[in-house]
């Protein structure tokens, strides 16, 4: 049996590289509470991504919760059913009600033309996901938000390095969040970040550190979402490899597309004027039956794709059911094929020959 191929493989630098950065934390004896490594990682990320405000956090879910809490959102939040459960759960955890709007059949992001119909007097915000790193229709969402006085949060967990119209996708909306989980494109083991307009920065910063104003006073309510020095050290070693990693993944995807060309398999469309990051390689089959056959064939061959994202969030057992038929249909037929920087040409030929 050939070596197991998973849907992704965490990029790991050499242990020596990691240890050489960790040594700086050891030397200070300072493991968290925004030590030198977290501060340095934030600076380097600002530069690499082209953003002005960033708060490194301990995962990619807490920034969503902090954004909802910090913006004072109440009542209903319009969102996408085609995302990871963290998006929806964050809304519910913060005592708001998700209102699902169906997705666009080829971009797979929230269908902006259906948002206005879902707005009620209870609506306080739009929380949309740039799924697979594909930007939502940010201009139209911005227009709607201004018209109805709504806040906009983007779950940009998949968007490390994505640009839209020449600037970081994290610069759109009131707040964007990213995940640096080990399965994501850029990682710190567990980790994440919040990006926001300058007017919100101080408040979000306090929220992520228990609401502290110095050691003996408090501005307000907070939680602990701080990134540790151990996480930041991983980020600092991984970051210099990111351009190379994205390059390699681009080559993998190009080869996949060549090998799958002429088959009945569809890919989603990247939005015009977006520079994508090659974070995932989702393919759509003509039916769920075909998807399950392919998945089984691959698994027998020790290859493990993943059904990102299945099921859709509008079917969660703890929510009132709504009916996003396009999302449900796509979600049943879409499969993320293995994608990482170490995937070889022969791996891809083997995988695709089992599919077509």
Ligand X SMILES: *Cc1c(COP(=O)(O)O)cnc(C)c1O
Q: CB of residue 60 vs ligand X: minimum separation in angstroms?
A: 3
Q: Which stretch binds ligand X (CB under 6 A): 14-22, 57-65, 296-304, 312-320?
A: 57-65
59 sits near ligand X (criterion: CB under 6 A): yes
Q: What is the DSSP string of 7-67?
A: S-------HHHHHHHHHHHHHHT--SSS-HHHHHHHHHHHHHHT-S-EEEESSSSHHHHHH
Q: Which is nearer to ligand X, 157 or 303 (CB)?
A: 157
Q: Which is nearer to ligand X, 58 or 203 (CB)?
A: 58
Omega of the bond leading into 311 within 30 degrees of 0 (cis): yes
Q: Which of 80, 109, 124, 129 binds ligand X (CB under 6 A)?
A: 129
Instruction: Check binding of 155 to ligand X (CB under 6 A).
Output: yes
Nearer to ligand X, 34 or 158 (CB): 158
- The footprint of ligand X on residues 157-196 (CB under 6 A) is 157-158, 179, 181, 192
Q: Please tell me whether residue 38 binds ligand X under the rule CB under 6 A.
A: no
Collapsed DSSP state (helix, strand, coil) of residue 320: coil
Question: Between residues 195 and 352, which has the closer beta carbon with respect to ligand X?
Answer: 195
Minimum CB distance to ligand X, residue 64 (Å):
7
Q: Which of 87, 88, 123, 206 binds ligand X (CB under 6 A)?
A: 87
- Residue for token pair 């493991």: 31
Structure-block tokens of residue 114: 């259906």
Residue in 61, 80, 203, 206 binding ligand X, rule: CB under 6 A: 61
What does the alpha-carbon distance between residue 11 and residue 239 come to, in Å, rounded to a whole number? Answer: 11
Residue 127 DSSP class: E
- Taking the least distance from each CB to ligand X, the nearer of 80 and 124 is 80
Of residues 129 and 206, the one with the C-beta less far from ligand X: 129
Smallest distance from the beta carbon of 158 to ligand X, in angstroms?
6
Q: Where are the beta strands (DSSP E) in the chain?
A: 5-6, 54-57, 76-79, 97-100, 123-129, 151-155, 163-164, 167-168, 175-179, 192-196, 274-275, 282-284, 303-304, 334-336
List Cα–Cα distances, 26 to 12, 44, 233, in angstroms: 21, 21, 11
Q: Which residues bind ligand X (CB under 6 A)?
A: 59-61, 83-84, 86-87, 129, 155, 157-158, 179, 181, 192
């Amino acid at each position: 049996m050939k070596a197991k191929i998973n849907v992704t493989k965490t990029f790991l630098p050499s242990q020596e590289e990691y240890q050489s950065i960790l040594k700086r934390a050891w030397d200070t004896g300072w493991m968290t509470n925004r030590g030198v490594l977290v501060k340095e990682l934030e600076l380097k990320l600002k530069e690499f991504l082209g953003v002005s405000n960033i708060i490194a956090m301990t995962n990619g879910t807490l920034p969503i919760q902090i954004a909802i809490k910090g913006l004072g959102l109440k009542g209903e939040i319009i969102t996408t059913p085609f995302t990871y459960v963290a998006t929806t759960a964050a809304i519910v955890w913060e005592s708001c009600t998700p209102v699902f709007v169906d997705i666009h059949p080829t971009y797979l992001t929230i269908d902006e033309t259906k948002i206005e119909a879902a707005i009620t007097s209870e609506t306080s915000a739009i929380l949309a996901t740039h799924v697979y790193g594909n930007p939502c229709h940010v201009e139209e969402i911005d227009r709607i938000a201004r018209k109805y006085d709504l806040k906009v949060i983007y779950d940009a967990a998949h968007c490390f390095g994505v640009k839209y119209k020449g600037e970081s996708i994290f610069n759109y909306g009131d707040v964007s969040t990213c995940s640096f989980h080990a399965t994501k494109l850029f990682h710190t083991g567990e980790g994440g970040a919040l990006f926001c307009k300058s007017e919100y920065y101080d408040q979000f910063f306090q929220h992520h550190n228990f609401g502290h104003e110095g050691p003996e006073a408090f501005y307000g309510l907070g939680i602990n979402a701080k990134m540790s020095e151990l996480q930041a050290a991983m980020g600092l070693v991984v970051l210099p490899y990111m351009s190379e990693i994205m390059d390699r993944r681009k080559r993998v995807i190009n080869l996949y597309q060549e090998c799958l060309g002429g088959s009945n398999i569809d890919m989603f469309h990247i939005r015009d004027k977006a520079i994508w990051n090659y974070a995932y390689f989702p393919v759509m089959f003509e039916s769920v039956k075909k998807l399950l056959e392919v998945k089984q064939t691959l698994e027998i061959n020790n290859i493990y794709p993943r059904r990102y994202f299945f099921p859709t969030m509008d079917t969660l057992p703890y929510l009132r059911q709504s009916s996003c038929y396009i999302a449900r249909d796509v979600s049943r037929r879409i499969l993320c094929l293995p994608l990482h920087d170490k995937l070889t040409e022969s791996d891809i030929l083997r995988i695709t020959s089992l599919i077509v």
